[in-house]
Amino acid sequence: MSKSNLNIKLFSDGADLDGIKAMAENDWIHGFTTNPTLMRKAGVVDYKAFACEVLKVVQDRPVSFEVFADDFDDMKHQALEIASWGKNVFVKIPVMNTQNQFSGSLIRELAKCRVQLNITAVMTAEQISAIVECLQDETSAIISVFAGRIADTGVDPIPIMREAIVAMQKKPKAELLWASPRELLNIVQANDIGCHIITATSDILKKLSLLGKDHHEYSLETVKMFYDDALSAGFTIPDARQRKSA
Q: What is the CATH number of the domain that holds 42?
A: 3.20.20.70
Please indicate, yes or no, if residue 221 is contained in any of the structural domains.
no
Distances (CA, A) of 234 to 125, 222, 228: 55, 19, 10
Alpha helix segments (H runs only) across the chain: 17-24, 36-41, 47-57, 72-83, 104-112, 125-134, 147-152, 158-167, 184-192, 202-205, 215-233, 240-245
**Residue 224 counted as domain residue:** no
d(CA 246, CA 228): 31
pLDDT at 246 over 90: no
Query: 13-55, pLDDT tens digit by residue?
Result: 999 999 999 999 999 999 999 999 999 999 999 999 999 999 9
Side-chain-side CA neighbours of residue 216 (13 Å): 0
For 224: left if phi > 0, alpha if psi spans -120 to 50, otherwise beta; the answer is: alpha
Rounded CA-CA distance 93/65 in Å is 9
d(CA 204, CA 107): 31
C-alpha distance from residue 87 to each of 24, 62, 147 (Å): 17, 8, 28
- Grouping H, G, I as helix, E, B as strand and the rest as coil, residue 58 is coil
Q: What is the pLDDT of residue 241?
A: 74
pLDDT tens sequence across 66-103 = 999 999 999 999 999 999 999 999 999 999 999 999 99
Is 233 within the bounds of a domain? no
Range of the domain at 114: 3-212
Say if residues 179 and 148 touch (Cβ distance below 8 Å). yes
Could you tell me the pLDDT band of residue 141, with boundaries at 50, 70 and 90? very high
**Count of domains forming the chain:** 1
* CA atoms within a 13 Å half-sphere pointing along the CA-CB vector of 140: 12
Cα of first residue to Cα of last residue in the chain, in angstroms, is 57
Q: Is residue 244 part of a domain?
A: no
Task: Say if residue 110's pLDDT is above 80.
Answer: yes
Domain for residue 147, yes or no? yes
Among 225, 189, 183, smallest CA distance to 208 is for 183
* Alpha-carbon distance values, 59 to 4, 13, 165, 211, 239 (Å): 23, 16, 28, 29, 64
Q: Does residue 217 form part of some domain?
A: no
Query: Nearest to residue 95, comparing CAs of 125, 123, 76, 114?
Result: 123
Band of pLDDT at residue 5, cut at 50, 70 and 90: confident
Cβ 162 vs Cβ 168: under 8 Å: no
Whether residue 194 is contained in a domain is answered as yes
The band of 243, judged by pLDDT with boundaries at 50, 70 and 90, is low
Average pLDDT, the chain: 96
For strand 117-122 and strand 89-94, is the pairing parallel, antiparallel, or unpaired? parallel
Nearest to 80 by CA among 55, 102, 112, 58: 112
Is 185 a member of any domain?
yes
Q: Which of 1-10, 105-114, 148-157, 189-198 has the lowest mean pLDDT?
A: 1-10
